[in-house]
Amino acid sequence: MKSAPLLPDELLSDQKRRRTALAATIIAIVAFSAALSFDWRLKMLAPNGPITLLLGVLVAVFIYLATWQQSVLFRPCPSCGKRTLKSGAFCSHCGRPMQ
């Protein structure tokens, strides 16, 4: 938990780090479900493979949408760096007016 105000550079790298972590998570989930849906012994798609794959993709899409919604509704406050509602007139944490 950071309490000190973030510099613009730090905010940017924080967002970049978040995006990289999200991409890695989604790729890992899809790759894992693809590996599970394949029968490696018979070298063919497992009988319930398509369902496993579909579930993996759905989970990945859900995580992506949840994160996307966060970035659409919230933004980091330029003063305190905490995430606050984009539509709000003031930061809900430090009270700084948002333009």
Residues lying near Zn ion in the complex (CB under 5 A) are found at 77, 79-80, 91, 93-94, 96
| Residue with Cβ nearer Zn ion (6 or 60) | 6
In whole angstroms, the minimum distance from the beta carbon of 69 to Zn ion comes to 21
Phi, psi of 38 (to 5 degrees): -105, 130
CB 77 within 8 A of CB 98: yes
In whole angstroms, the minimum distance from the beta carbon of 95 to Zn ion comes to 7
Angle at which helix 8-37 crosses helix 49-73, to 10 degrees, equals 170
Q: What is the rounded distance in angstroms from the CA atom of residue 49 to the CA atom of residue 51?
A: 5
In whole angstroms, the minimum distance from the beta carbon of 44 to Zn ion comes to 55
| Residue with Cβ nearer Zn ion (71 or 79) | 79
